[in-house]
Amino acid sequence: MNKPTYSQQPKALWFLIVTYISIILLANWFDIRLIRIFGLETDAGTLIFPLTFLCSDLITEVYGYKFARQAIWTGFLFNLVFIIYGQIIVHLPSPSYAIVINNNFDNLLGFNIRIILASTLSYFCAEPLNSYLMAKLKLKTNGKYISVRFVLSTFIASFFDSFIFGSLAFAGTMSNSNLMRFNVTMWLIKVAIEIIGLPVSIHLAKFLKKHEKLDIYDSGTKFNLFSLEANYNNSNNHFLINK
């Protein structure tokens, strides 16, 4: 039997997971702020949320789907903490001198809960799909066409993310036609950011593979989202095979 590839903890994996979670939380907080940029209307979180796809792409491409799955569940856990803690503090008594400020904060956080719940649902649809597509396309293409895999997985996953999130978070706050435009704009911005950042993504993927001496292929992987198993054999690591 082959010994597991991950006999030692990869050096950079923790940083990618922490970055992934941080971006999710930041995007959720700033999603409430609608902006107009270059004539396009979207929410502020859309400008940084595509970086979650970059992180999950890198985790899946280098370390494998199983570790991307762990990152997805970790992100959900901290999202849950964010929601619960937010609900606790808005129900705590307020000092008399801070009533106005706290009421404004509570109203803001109250609407933000709707956004976070919408984001959580879209997250559970889009993020596993993105990593699944990355892993499957890598097997289908035998590791070739990395740029196509990065863009195609984001193109499909961000479509579901944008339309599920936008419809749940902002329905009733704008007309249906504006909501449709809003969702399409979010989707195209995410895809555009992925394409613009492609040279950096590919460079990072190659650097991490060389640095970690890992290039995991998910042959034999069971893509059960509810499993946290993350063992790979040396046969999954094509960096060792191609060395």
Helix (H, G, I), strand (E, B) or coil at 2: coil
The per-residue pLDDT for 243 is 57
Q: Is 71 exposed, middle or buried (0-12, 13-18, 19+ CB in 10 A)?
A: buried
| Start-to-end CA span in the chain (Å) | 21
The secondary element (H helix, E strand) that includes residue 34 is strand 34-37
Rg of the chain on CA atoms, in Å:
20
Tally of CB atoms within 10 A around 212: 17
Using the structure block, give the residue that is written with the tokens 């992925």. Answer: 194
Tell whether 69 is covered by a domain.
yes
In a domain, 88, yes or no: yes
Task: For residue 21, tell me if it sits in a domain.
Answer: yes
Does residue 242 lie within any of the structural domains?
no
**Inside any domain, residue 226:** no
So what's the pLDDT on residue 111?
64
Q: Model confidence over 191-208: pLDDT tens digits?
A: 999 999 999 999 999 999
Give residue 185's identity as a one-letter amino acid code.
Answer: T
pLDDT of the residue at 39: 81
User: pTM for the full model?
Assistant: 0.87
Phi, psi of 182 (to 5 degrees): -60, -45
> Do 72 and 55 contact (CB within 8 A), yes or no?
no
Write down the pLDDT at residue 242: 61
Report the CATH number at residue 54: 1.10.1760
Q: Quick one: CA dihedral 138, 140, 141, 147, positive or negative?
A: negative
Which structural domain, as residue segments, surrounds residue 77?
Answer: 13-221
Q: Give the DSSP letter of residue 61.
A: I
pLDDT recorded at residue 29:
81
CA distance 47 to 204: 20
**Does residue 227 lie in a domain region?**
no
User: Residues 85, 229: contact at Cβ < 8 Å?
Assistant: no
DSSP string, 172-191: TTB-HHHHHHHHHHHHHHHH
Q: What pLDDT does residue 171 have?
A: 87
Contact between 27 and 45 (Cβ < 8 Å): yes
User: pLDDT at position 99, please?
Assistant: 87
∠ Cα 230 232 238 (to 5°): 135
Task: For residue 231, tell me if it sits in a domain.
Answer: no
Q: Name the strand (E) or helix (H) holding 132.
A: helix 99-140
User: What pLDDT shows up at residue 212?
Assistant: 93
Write down the pLDDT at residue 170: 85
The structural domain count of the chain equals 1
Residue 232 resides in a domain: no
List per-residue pLDDT tens for the chain, 243 residues long.
Answer: 445 555 456 889 999 999 999 998 888 788 778 888 888 888 888 888 889 999 999 999 999 999 999 999 999 898 888 888 888 888 888 898 888 888 888 877 776 677 778 888 888 899 999 999 999 999 999 999 999 999 999 999 999 999 998 898 888 888 899 999 999 999 999 999 999 999 999 999 999 999 999 999 999 999 999 998 988 988 999 987 765
